[in-house]
Amino acid sequence: MTKSFPREATSVPEARQFVRAALDEWDLPDLTDTAELVASELATNAVVHARCAFYRVTLSRPQPDQVRVAVVDHSRSLPRVADPGDEDGHGRGLALIAAVADKWGTDRLNWGKRVWADLVVPPAPEPPAREVPMYGTRRAQVLYVLILAAVAGAVIVGLVAPN
């Protein structure tokens, strides 16, 4: 999926919406927040640093459990991870992407560059272990407790009964 956006700050929320819609279509809700963050940071970099009228956001699925978010622009200047000071209000985007992406990189193109990040679908959480059986109705629960009490009583009687 690909969509072009004007190199304006107002297009960044539109790029996030495009990413959200694609992930909804692919039924990958667990990646939505991370993919929106990546798209937002990459789109912001294109708006601030690229010197062209448009940039393009591309989403692809190299593997069933992987999504690649990429931003293509006509600038040949490659991005670099900055080392902002504590008081700096910008310069952390690529560090954020590096922290949340499985991997990220830049591809030089004849007419510009592609900056991309690969996101992996997190594994489904394992269901919690059920130590005590659960029963759906109150009557079944009461019956279960009564059976446990009877078994416990029989064990106790067996332990204290004279031989």
How far is CA 23 from its chain centroid? 10
* Cα–Cα distance measured from residue 22 to residue 48, given in angstroms and rounded to the nearest whole number: 25
Q: Is the pLDDT of residue 140 over 80?
A: no
How far is CA 102 from its chain centroid? 11
Q: Is the pLDDT of residue 88 over 90?
A: no
Enumerate the β-bridge partners of residue 15: none
Name, in order, each residue with C-beta under 8 angstroms of 101's C-beta and a sequence gap of 6 or more.
Answer: 34, 38, 117, 118, 119
Report the pLDDT value the prediction gives residue 86, as an integer from 0 to 100: 57
Report the pLDDT value the prediction gives residue 89, as an integer from 0 to 100: 53
Instruction: Count CB neighbours of 11 within 10 A.
Output: 21
Report the pLDDT value the prediction gives residue 91, as an integer from 0 to 100: 53
Q: Per-residue pLDDT tens for 50-62?
A: 888 999 999 999 9
Residue given tokens 């690909």 in the structure block = 2
Report the pLDDT value the prediction gives residue 92, as an integer from 0 to 100: 58
Q: Per-residue pLDDT tens for 12-47?
A: 999 999 999 999 999 999 899 999 999 999 999 899
More confident residue, 84 or 104: 104
Q: What is the mean pLDDT of the chain?
A: 84
Enumerate the β-bridge partners of residue 163: none
Long-range contacts of 78-84 (CB under 8 A, 24+ apart): 78/106, 78/108, 78/113, 79/45, 79/49, 79/106, 79/115
